[in-house]
Structure 1
Amino acid sequence: MRIMVIGASKGLGRALVEGLAEQHELIGVSRSRPADLAQPVQWIEADLSDPLGAVEAIERQAPARLDAILYNLGIWEERAFAEGYSFLEDSDARILEMVDVNIGATLLLLKRLLPCLLGGAKPQLILTGSTSGLPQSGRPEVTFGASKFALKGIADSLREGFRDQRLAVTCLQLGYLNTQDGLHTPREQAALNGEGQLIPLHDVVALVRTLLTLSDASYVRELVLPAIADQRF
């Protein structure tokens, strides 16, 4: 399969590239290509904090046909997920930047890339959401939570708009991830390092592999993956 991973340079995106590269043809998208990436992956350098410029650059360099898009892009408040976070202390500039990147850039880029997917035998779009975007999530980060609520709305609307073209849209609602341990760390060790509060990247990669192997007769609409000791779920 030919798969584009958006937001691919570090964390979960990097793990998806490393975990899928042996079996699939990948195109990574991020501000810069990681210097230490061992896999032979095509790369498109684009900074989605400039949505219009980035989507034009990505559209120019994207292949004519894609089988799947893994959309793993999102930024959050400067003091998000820390004690003492206060919406009232968020700068206006940061709030607008988050809306531009998390919502605006997503809409513009998917508008450009969907024609590359549609018409294929099994077009798939996998969006990385967050448990912060679920009802009664227990999190106070207003703008980040709102942008992840929006992502779920984007997924729902795309399914309906392109149902006749059999577009499979999955929203992964992920809890807190252990982004310190990459796939080079054994999964069991990565799970221990989180002490039940963090999800190993290995688990998300395993789920994505499964989603990509489903037949064209079914799809997963939404998947909620919290850490085992996350008391919010």
Structure 2
Amino acid sequence: MGQFDGQVVYITGIARGQGRNHAVRFAAEGASIIGLDIADRVADHQTYPTATADDLAETVRLVEEAGGKILARQGDTRDLAVQQQLVADGIEAFGRLDHVVANAGILTWGLTWELTEAQFTDVVDVNLVGTWKTLKAVIPPMIEARNGGSITIISSTAGLKAMPAQASYSASKFGLRGLAQSAAKELGPKRIRVNTVHPYAVNTPMGVEDPEAFKAFETYGEHFPSMMNHYPVATLDDLSDAVLYLATAQAVTGAEFQIDMGSSKV
């Protein structure tokens, strides 16, 4: 018996990294998965490896290997119609929707006044506007079903403590906090809980394979320390532990859950 037997989870950014790990962990606990990922390069200014269609196919394989059912599709969170159709198809296939993990996001680097217009708007459009479109796609059917449930939005420590060379990313992640807080207050009477998770460095291509990040650390290193030098990078399971907990924590909403080795407090 799994703690999510018979339940359904919608996850964006599912092709690899955190999204994939969340999907596999939920599936191992009995959930069916609806998944979305663009599985392609989002913007020319990305400086870390991007997910591919093969990555998405591997997520499907791993979820099924864990015993879960999955409906996964390539698509952009910025396309509301794509998300609405996928959610509708997932509910038709699996019968319900219980939990949402709004995980999709991108990162670019540059000083506030040196960012190109695309570097700023692409990041805000994917991270903030795309997440709002995720909520717009999932909340009406969740309300209609009257099953309660949870929505977990993946923000960042950069949404708690703005970081240098990350103006667009920090702005988008701070925005997610406001979006989540509004939704939590609106959805409390509907028994739908909304929380944010705030990672620091995580063992993903975005987290550890971006050469521009190391340049920023060299110049602005005093802004990037944590309290745990012996544990510099969180594992995928560190993040999934938090996400699965928030999906079950009936008394928790409006929370800002830090998985950051204390970096937001330094």
Shift of 1:53: 4.8
Give 1:190's aligned residue: none
Matching of residue 219 in structure 1 with residue 241 in structure 2: no
Distance 1:72 1:49, change over 3 A: closer
Q: Which amino acid aligns with 1:219?
A: V
Give 1:125's aligned residue: 151
Secondary structure, aligned partner of 2:175 = helix
Matching of residue 205 in structure 1 with residue 243 in structure 2: no
Shift of 1:117: 1.9
Structure 1 length-normalised TM: 0.80
Give 1:21's aligned residue: 27
In angstroms, what is the RMSD of aligned CA positions? 2.3
Matching of residue 55 in structure 1 with residue 55 in structure 2: no
Give 1:39's aligned residue: 63
CA-to-aligned-CA distance 1:93-138 (integer Å, 9 cap, x gap): 232222221122222231121122224333100000100011x444
The separation in 1 between residues aligned to 2:238 and 2:111, in whole angstroms, is 32
8 Å CA contact 1:6, 1:70 repeated in 2: yes
Shift of 1:60: 4.4
The separation in 2 between residues aligned to 1:159 and 1:49, in whole angstroms, is 21
Shift of 1:141: 0.8
Shift of 1:200: 0.9
The separation in 1 between residues aligned to 2:231 and 2:197, in whole angstroms, is 19
Q: Which amino acid aligns with 1:31?
A: I
8 Å CA contact 1:67, 1:120 repeated in 2: no
Secondary structure, aligned partner of 1:73 = coil
Give 1:86's aligned residue: 111
Runs of 5+ unmatched residues, structure 2: 1-6, 40-52, 206-228
Give 2:99's aligned residue: 68
Distance 1:108 1:145, change over 3 A: same
Count of residue pairs brought into register by the alignment: 210
Shift of 1:157: 0.5
Within 5 Å, give how 1:77-226 maps onto structure 2. 77=108, 80=109, 85-118=110-143, 119-134=145-160, 136-179=161-204, 195-215=230-250, 218-220=251-253, 221-226=255-260
Report which stretch shifted further, 99-108 or 48-57.
Answer: 48-57
Structure 2 length-normalised TM: 0.71
The separation in 1 between residues aligned to 2:242 and 2:264, in whole angstroms, is 22
CA-to-aligned-CA distance 1:153-180 (integer Å, 9 cap, x gap): 0101001222211220010011111126
Shift of 1:225: 1.6
The separation in 2 between residues aligned to 1:87 and 1:131, in whole angstroms, is 18
> Comparing both structures, which one devotes a greater share of its residues to helix?
2
8 Å CA contact 2:80, 2:137 repeated in 1: no
